Structure 1
Amino acid sequence: MPSNPRWVHRPEGSTWGDFGADDQLGRLNLLTPAKVRQGIAEVREGRTFCLSLPLDRPGGKALNPRRGPPVLSPTGPAEKPRWNQCLCHDEAGLLDVACDDKVEIALQYSTQWDALVHVGAMFDADGDGVPEPVYYNGFRAGTDVPDASQAAASGRAFGALKLGIENAAAHGVQGRGVLVDLFARFGETRRFVGYDDLMAALDADRVAVEPGDILCLYTGFADLVMRMDGAPDPAVLSHACAVLDGRDARLLRWISDSQIAAIAADNYAVEGLPARAFAGGANAAMPLHHHCLFKLGLPLGELWWFEALAAHLRVAGRNRFLLTAPPLRLPGAAGSPVTPIATV
């Protein structure tokens, strides 16, 4: 087992230390130049598909009461907003009219990437018998991830000092995407998809998933959201479409063994929430997030929009494509909006 100054032992089945003592990328390390070339090799037509919802969708706060839609407003003082503002000066001969704006946005409201700092766990990393709040690779709450009061006391801006989304942005998120069409198999029926279901879907469509691929799951959830036209019905959405079963140990083992670089889904949270009841003792409320973000350093993408891409790939008899999906290079953020592009 790798040694590390931040931890004496690591969670069972984790990749802590495998990519280096101070690694902040996790499985994105598998997006190598060779994987980018594999993605580029899938481009035959030069056709692109935008995989992002409009960032004001789903609409309202039906999916998460803490996250509201973006609020767009002009810059400048209220009495002179920079919107349709004439910059005319007769003496200088200037005729410009300008618009300039700003946005207040919940970073994980719409189509998004989760940063590795998004979900950690209580874990006894230093071996003293007392669990402490830690994140991937043993980075600590309070020091590596200060809270707002700690940041203010030190004179720093708010945000994580380690594992923020800027690491993924600086590395680049580009490689070969592989689409699994769960919607074709299960429709809009709510189903907790475990290992057996996923393997059956892969076999039925002859989908091969290789190390370093980005696994993309089309469930139809985002299509349903878009049909609701900004007024999502939580009673419908909470019982709609396929979700991964984070309690399925064989599914989690496959995610580990497959060596995929990331998972992106068109649903909320990728996994089913609330998760299936667990018969044992203490366990994560978000078991897939726990396994992927905390243990493996494997980013999760949520609320992507695969409808048009999935239809095209099915007609073409394909499931692979070049995926380009960089997050914002926003230091310290726990997530980011993203406008993924698939090129086929």
Structure 2
Amino acid sequence: MIPPTGYPAFDDLPRKHGVPTAWDYAPGASVLGRALHQTPPGVADAARLVETGDVFPLGIDPAVLDPPLFGRRPARHRRVQFDHGIVLDDVLDDCHPQAGSHWDALGHAGILPDLFHGGATRSDVDAGRSGTIRHWAQRGIAGRGLVLDLEPVWGVAGAGFDPTTSRAITVEDLERCRANTGLDYATGDILLLHTGFLRWYLGQPARTRHALAESPFPRWIGLAHTEDMARYLWNTGCAAVATDTPALEVWPPDKTRAAWPWGYLHRVLLAGLGIAIGELWWLADLAPHCRSIDRHQAFVTSAPWHHGTTVGSPANALAIT
């Protein structure tokens, strides 16, 4: 593949500490990243994809991930009342936005502790000047969702493959998924990678879920953390990649000096290339629907939290076919 018109070639991107950076190739890229390319004409084209009007919520109730993964804690909910109990409100304490179906904003991972996307510092992220979810929330996220379905390629999670191994999804696997759609990538796409992991995980007994969540060294399937994978995703022109796995990339990452910078793909995609990452999305209804109608694209919208300083947010995403 070649990059979309107007994009620099991956190998021509300037590098910071070895990480390819797409900060200055277009006005606004240093703050918005690839979300910049979800333009009004592109959104209008995506909206015209709606044919059946079927709506697929792409989020789950975070409470069903019991216990939450990666040491996150479940939000504590309490009810408060006003006007003698006629009016009810809610309070959520200790809420982890990334505990359920979520976005990782550009400030979620840096190249170095004080170097984030666009050259932002940690103080820039903490103050909300750059890297936080509000920069996407202020404009919304909307575009074509292209469903890359791994199930016809690898088989069903738990039967065709073990989702709790460090098996990497390769560029060749993604290209087979894309070829199965009969479609080409387009600038501003939201790539929806369905592996079947989340449906499998929620079907496990409590003891299995607890063992996986509490493991100090969890292993999950995910994208190969390689330079070829970063190049491939850059060349798709996508604005975002969302998946139903706990981490977009194969886990655990390789943070050794020898693997720098590709061993931790979050660093490259977020801090370097400005590609949004979605994780733990519920794709288990959308993907089989797309197979049943032999149509693997949908209009996808997302309304993240309009919060000034968080680096993650519930995705609040819908796919409409």
RMSD over equivalenced CA pairs, Å: 2.4
- Give me the whole-angstrom Cα distance separating, in 2, the residues matched to 1:37 and 1:49: 19
Partner of 2:199: 223
Aligned partner of residue 174 in structure 2, secondary structure: helix
**Is the counterpart of residue 73 in structure 1 residue 78 in structure 2?**
yes
TM-score normalised by L of structure 2 = 0.84
Which amino acid counterpart does residue 115 of structure 1 have in structure 2? A
Residues 21 and 270 of structure 1: CA distance in aligned 2, closer, same or farther (over 3 Å): closer
Residues 269 and 98 of structure 1: CA distance in aligned 2, closer, same or farther (over 3 Å): same
8 Å CA contact 1:58–1:230 kept in 2: the answer is: no
Counterpart of 2:43 (choices 14, 17, 36) is: 36
Partner of 1:112: 102
- Give me the whole-angstrom Cα distance separating, in 2, the residues matched to 1:289 and 1:322: 26
Which amino acid counterpart does residue 117 of structure 2 have in structure 1? Y
Aligned partner of residue 291 in structure 1, secondary structure: helix
Q: Which ranges of structure 2 fall in alignment gaps of 5 or more residues? A: 1-13
Partner of 1:169: 137
- Give me the whole-angstrom Cα distance separating, in 2, the residues matched to 1:301 and 1:234: 24
- Give me the whole-angstrom Cα distance separating, in 2, the residues matched to 1:22 and 1:235: 38
Percent identity reads: 26
**Is the counterpart of residue 267 in structure 1 residue 256 in structure 2?**
no
**Is the counterpart of residue 245 in structure 1 residue 245 in structure 2?**
no
8 Å CA contact 1:57–1:69 kept in 2: the answer is: no
Kindly report which structure 2 residues correspond to 1:6-25, keeping only aligned pairs within 5 A, or say none.
10-11=15-16, 13-20=20-27, 23-25=30-32
Partner of 1:139: 120
State the 1:101 CA deviation: 1.2
- Give me the whole-angstrom Cα distance separating, in 2, the residues matched to 1:165 and 1:40: 24
Which amino acid counterpart does residue 72 of structure 1 have in structure 2? H
Counterpart of 2:86 (choices 87, 97, 101) is: 97
TM-score normalised by L of structure 1 = 0.78
State the 1:202 CA deviation: 1.8
Which amino acid counterpart does residue 215 of structure 1 have in structure 2? L
> Which structure's residues are more often helix, by fraction?
2
Which amino acid counterpart does residue 229 of structure 2 have in structure 1? L
Which amino acid counterpart does residue 192 of structure 2 have in structure 1? C
8 Å CA contact 1:27–1:261 kept in 2: the answer is: yes
Residues 282 and 226 of structure 1: CA distance in aligned 2, closer, same or farther (over 3 Å): closer
Q: Which ranges of structure 1 fall in alignment gaps of 5 or more residues? A: 1-8, 76-81, 88-95, 123-131, 147-158
Aligned partner of residue 56 in structure 1, secondary structure: helix
**Is the counterpart of residue 305 in structure 1 residue 310 in structure 2?**
no
Larger radius of gyration: 1
State the 1:234 CA deviation: 4.2
State the 1:324 CA deviation: 0.7
